[in-house]
Structure 1
Amino acid sequence: MPRVLIADDEDSMRTLVARAIAMDGHEIVTAQDGAEALEILASSEGTFDLLLTDIMMPVMDGIALALTAARDFPELKILLMTGFADQRERASGLDAIVHDVVTKPFSVADIRTAVADALAASKM
């Protein structure tokens, strides 16, 4: 069963995404921001298959989290989420470490498909 770490500062979004992904049998752990997500990754020694993170968060944003996670856990697949076009542009240079950027708002089917695609993809 794939382990997915979800980092999003919005409770409702974190809950929606966690429930949607759990429908596919994934083990879910959530974090309220990038710093908490990084602590979880470090304490679990990178035993996650996928990091799904919002880009815009307090403390540590999703791009800083993705860069650090990719450096420390190179096998970890990373998906970013954002509702802002400028944040999507910021992520465009991260193709080497980020599987995709999912645009908010999205449907439950959209996020489940994005997660399935990321988990099925081989890491470059």
Structure 2
Amino acid sequence: MARVLITDDEEPMRLLVARAIAMDGHETVTAQDGAEALDILIREEGAFELLLTDIQMPVMDGIALALSAARDFPRLTILLMTGYADQRERASNLQAIAHDVITKPFSVADIRTAVADALASRNS
């Protein structure tokens, strides 16, 4: 199964997503903001199949994280999450590097499906 780095500044969301993804056998690592996630990516030399990140976060937002991750780890699949329409619009310019944007709130089934689709696209 895949290693997934989950980045969200809201702990309940990080835990929910981590539990949902773990149901499918994926290994999860969590970070509370983009800067922490980037540190983890660098420290682990990009040893993840998927970066699942919220867009709006303090310190480093998900778009800055996605741009840095795509530049430094081009094989990493990126899936963005947001609860804000304006953030979804900002992310529309990232189609070349981000697989998709999932809108919050979402169900456990929705996030599991989005992760499965992102990982399947990686293998095709």
Q: Same fold (TM over 0.5)?
A: yes
Instruction: Give the drift of 1:122.
Output: 3.2
**Secondary structure at the residue paired with 2:97?**
coil
Q: Distance in 1 between matches of 2:123 and 2:35?
A: 24
CA distance, structure 2, for counterparts of residue 79 and residue 67 of structure 1: 12
Partner of 1:96: 96
Aligned partners of 2:123, 2:25: CA distance in 1, in Å? Answer: 22
User: Taking every aligned residue pair, what percent have the same amino acid on both sides?
Assistant: 80
The answer on whether the counterparts of 1:77 and 1:123 sit within 8 Å (CA) in structure 2 is no
Q: 1:67: how far off? A: 0.2
Which residue is equivalent to 2:122?
122
Q: Which runs of 4+ in 1 moved over 6 A?
A: none
Q: What is the Cα deviation at residue 123 of structure 1?
A: 7.4
Return the TM-score normalized by structure 1.
Answer: 0.98
Task: Tell me how far apart the structure 2 counterparts of residues 113 and 122 of structure 1 sit (CA, whole Å).
Answer: 14
> 1 CA distance for matches of 2:113 and 2:56?
22
Partner-residue secondary structure (3-state), 1:121: helix
TM-score (norm 2): 0.98
Question: Aligned-pair distance for 1:36?
Answer: 0.1
State the one-letter code of the partner of 2:70: A
- The 3-state SS of whatever aligns with 2:86 is helix
Instruction: Report what 2:76 is aligned to.
Output: 76
Residue 86 of structure 2 corresponds to 86
1:6-25 alignment to 2 at 5 Å? 6-25=6-25
Contact 1:55–1:82 at 8 Å: present in 2 too? Answer: yes
- How big is the alpha-carbon RMSD for the aligned residues of Structure 1 and Structure 2? 1.1
Aligned to 2:108: 108
Deviation at 1:13, TM superposition (A): 0.3
2:52 alignment partner in structure 1: 52
Q: Describe the SS at the equivalent of 1:87.
A: helix
| AA in 2 matched with 1:44 | E
Match of 1:13, SS state, is: helix
CA distance in 2, matches of 1:23, 1:65: 26
